[in-house]
Amino acid sequence: MNLNQIEQVISLSELTNNSTLASEVQSQLTRLGFLAPPADGKFAPMSAQYLKNFQRWMRIDESGLGVRTAEYLLGLKTDIMLSLGQDLASRIVKYMRAKKYFVVVKANRYLNKWSYLPAC
């Protein structure tokens, strides 16, 4: 099973038993800046927390991985997550992305409070 085949909510405990789906979820969370790479297919508590952060950020009210979460994971573009302007924080993010740093988004925080990790 993969993300575009989800038809009902899958509990997070079920997700730990499906390494293919877990890896795809992790890859999408990484692409969107919610999870640091690599996607290893092991859906541990940290991956579950980052998925919950993503759902909270997107205002998705699902208790696990459901259709709406899957649609958002697959449909969002990375530049939607970053509203970059000309302020200092935006310029720092632009510089770090140009230098291939990985920018991590934290739920309930705005641009000037994001964390930055070097790309691996």
Q: What are the tens digits of pLDDT across the range 77-104?
A: 655 556 678 889 888 888 887 887 767 6
User: What pTM, to 2 d.p., does this model score?
Assistant: 0.67
Instruction: Give pLDDT, residue 111.
Output: 37
Q: Helix, strand, coil shares of the chain as percentages rounded to 5?
A: 50, 10, 40
Give percent of the chain with pLDDT exceeding 90. 33
Q: Is pLDDT larger for residue 70 or for residue 96?
A: 70
Residues 6+ apart with CB under 8 A from 22: 15, 16, 41, 42, 43, 47
Instruction: Give pLDDT, residue 77.
Output: 63
Instruction: Give pLDDT, residue 30.
Output: 87
- 35 in Cβ contact with 47 (< 8 Å): yes
Q: Is pLDDT larger for residue 17 or for residue 102?
A: 17
Instruction: Give pLDDT, residue 112.
Output: 36
